[in-house]
A and B are shown apart, each in its own frame.
Chain A
Amino acid sequence: MTLIHKPATELQELIKQKQVSSREVTEAFLAQIHLVEPTLNAFLTITDELALSMADVVDEKISKGHALGPLEGVPIAIKDNICTENIPTTCASNILKGFLPPYNATIIETLKHAGLPILGKTNMDEFAMGSSTETSAYQKTHNPWNIDCVPGGSSGGSAVAVAGFEAPLSIGSDTGGSIRQPASFCGNVGLKPTYGRVSRYGLIAFASSLDQIGSFSNNVTDTAHLLNLLAGHDPKDSTSLALEKEDFTRFIGSPKKGLRVGLPNEFFKHLSPEIKALYTTLINKLSQDGIEFVWLDLPSIEYALATYYIIAPAEASSNLARYDGVRFGFRAAGTSSTSEMIEQSRSQGFGAEVKRRILIGTYVLSSGYYDAYYKKAQKVRTLIKKDFDLAFEQVDIIASPTTPTPAFKLGEKTSDPLEMYLSDIMTIPLNLAGLPGLSIPCGLHNNLPMGWQLMGKAFDEARLLQVAHQMESLIGFGGRS
């Protein structure tokens, strides 16, 4: 097994034992990036020099006999909606072309301090609005399992960076499934932590009550170690919570006894017979291995997608009002007044999907429609949250398919926005409820990976990761050879 095929924790063990240097590990991933990028297009910016200089700092620490922190020396890729000081941060939008943030997001400061060399910035749907990474203004990212297929989205570049062995770890953001859905399509582990667990300072806002930063990796153990670094209170994010520091790896490897896993009927209704058969086989296997499954109802979940497509655009239309061509980003040329400049800059700078969501959001927030749409959706959000609360009185974890289908073909769903939105039907409820969830690979359909979504109680990531690790071991997904 070559370096690039090893999980992050194994790589760090090798670095600690001085079998390889952090520079050698980083160089191996950079070489893979330059080899496969012409095909995969996962990265918008590759930061070779930064990565190598960060690796050298780690190697110097080792040569001086200093102990390394968790994951120190293991490189990582970052989604392009997270601000990196003096490194282009575009949200894959023309309106932020060439934008150089004057500051780092809190998690970037954290990762720099922890010594994880930054390999580059990854492609995404424009402003994280999309489910296939096809709304990027710059390039189409391809799924390494089948390059005719999409990687999922919106964090498609970060999912492909890990699936294509271009990075052992990557950072994404999840507003309605933008980490879990691409993790499912690309066969890796994608975690969305509880809302408030990880600072959003420096994450360019899409829908502020739903956005959360999370990660991609090759296995659950790596995910838990990375969450140890990312989690924590940040005074710069008023929604980040001051919780006691905990070790998210602490239950891993000691299977939970008497585990009860809930299966919501609503999540299994709309599956094709073949996909349903795949999950029935999986559930039967895990039952034989001693996991107790309980079927339950989450009746309001059927309304989650409609609720989401009112709330998220409403928040987006407000958040995206700041792009006016005045202080940063793209400005349209040849305009004679400021109002014309703003209108032209926004019209030329935003792509079609972003404009569509701004229109939806503006509509549901306008007087006369506010109560019928926005307030109604906020009330249904309360019902959805209550359904989860009731379910978690009966079970420890809720499980479902991550997506109704495996990765679809590039171009297949771009003409019908509603059809594209339906690919997030399984992941959206969790964002509305603010709960933690992750996707682990669980099998193949037509040689494409399928994901198994595990959902936990608020701030119960340690338990969620324990169960995910237990199931990951039982499933024994081989990965991509």
Chain B
Amino acid sequence: MISHEDVKHLATLSRLRFNEAEVAQYTKDLGSIFEYAKALNELPTDEIAPSSHAIPIENVFREDVIVPFDADALLINAPDEEGHAFKVPQILAD
């Protein structure tokens, strides 16, 4: 069963932050969803190969060529920038 602690741990892994009410709500939601998903255990699958895709997928190769792009066009969406670079808050502590 999913506990409040599980949801808090998942939140950390997912880079999300929740208040206590949200933790309670998601604990309940995930609990009922995984309860429903338990039904899969009724199916014997030991001899079955897993499918990551429905159709056979092969790796696709191409020549390694440089395609130039317009830096200004990409930086239009930057939340913060300085000197043609994406700017973020401090990464390392003092």
Contact = CB atoms under 8 A, between A and B. Distances in A.
Interface of A: 99-100, 102, 194-196, 209, 235, 238-239, 241, 300, 302-303, 305-307, 309-310, 317, 321, 324-331, 335-344, 346-347, 350, 355-356, 358-360, 362-363, 366, 373, 375-383, 385, 417-418, 432-435, 458
A343 B50 CA distance: 33
A366 B62 contact: no
B1 interface: no
A326 B14 contact: no
Nearest to B13: A362
A75 B90 CA distance: 48
Nearest to B27: A359
What 9 pairs across the A-B complex have the smallest Cβ distances? A434-B54, A378-B50, A331-B79, A328-B77, A379-B45, A238-B60, A379-B48, A306-B37, A382-B51
A100 B77 contact: yes
Given A100-B76, A303-B39, A347 B17 contact: yes
B15 A338 contact: no
B79 A330 contact: yes
B16 A346 contact: yes
Nearest to A209: B53
Given A328-B78, A379-B49, A356 B29 contact: yes
Given A376-B45, A379-B45, A418-B36, A434 B55 contact: yes
Contact of A377 (B10, B32, B40, B77): B40
A306 B40 CA distance: 7
A304 to B, nearest CB: 10
A305 B36 CA distance: 9
Contact of A375 (B11, B30, B50): B50
29 contacts: A102-B70, A194-B55, A195-B53, A195-B54, A239-B53, A241-B55, A303-B39, A303-B40, A306-B39, A306-B40, A309-B33, A309-B37, A310-B40, A327-B78, A327-B86, A328-B79, A329-B77, A340-B89, A343-B16, A355-B16, A358-B16, A359-B7, A359-B26, A362-B13, A363-B10, A363-B30, A378-B51, A383-B43, A417-B33
For the residues of A in contact with B, the DSSP-based class is helix
Interface string B1-45: 010001100110111111000000010011011101101111101
B33 A102 contact: no
Given A100-B77, A195-B54, A344-B17, A335 B10 contact: no
A336 B93 CA distance: 10
A382 B49 contact: yes
Contacts of B37: 306, 309-310, 373, 377
A364 to B, nearest CB: 9
Contacts of B39: 302-303, 306
A337 B90 contact: yes
For the residues of B in contact with A, the DSSP-based class is loop
Contacts, number: 161
B6 to A, nearest CB: 8
Contacts of A356: 26, 29-30
Contacts of B89: 335-338, 340-341
Nearest to A235: B62
A359 B53 contact: no
Given A239-B53, A380-B45, 6 more contacts: A310-B40, A326-B86, A330-B79, A338-B88, A359-B30, A362-B10
B66 interface: no
Contacts of B93: 337
B77 A327 contact: yes
A359 B54 contact: no
A304 B33 CA distance: 14
Nearest to B37: A306
Contacts of A310: 37, 40
Nearest to A327: B86
A381 B43 CA distance: 11
Contact of A331 (B41, B49, B80): B80
A150 B30 CA distance: 25
A355 B7 CA distance: 11
B50 A379 contact: yes
Interface string B50-94: 111111010110100000011001101111100000101111010
A285 B59 CA distance: 48
B49 A376 contact: no
A362 B91 contact: no
A381 B50 contact: yes
Contacts of A100: 76-77
Interface hub of B17, B42, B54 (most chain A Cβ within 10 A): B54
Contacts of A382: 48-51
A303 to B, nearest CB: 6
B29 to A, nearest CB: 6
A377 B88 CA distance: 39
